Amino acid sequence: MKTIIIFIFSIALLGCPKNVEGSFTNISKGNLFGNGSEGFIKENIVISSKSEWLLFLTKVDATNKVSKKFKKSINFSKETIVVAVDKVRNTGGFSIEIIEVLIEKNRLLIKVKSTAPKTFDMVTMAVMQPYHIIKIKNTNKKIKFLEQ
User: What is the pLDDT at residue 23?
Assistant: 83
The C-alpha atoms of residue 142 and residue 148 are separated, in whole angstroms, by 19
Contacts of 53 (CB under 8 A, 6+ apart): 47, 74, 76, 81
The parts of the chain modelled with pLDDT lower than 50 are: 4-5, 7-14, 17-22
Read off the pTM. Answer: 0.83
The C-alpha atoms of residue 9 and residue 77 are separated, in whole angstroms, by 37
User: What is the pLDDT at residue 70?
Assistant: 85
- Enumerate the domain spans of the chain: 18-147
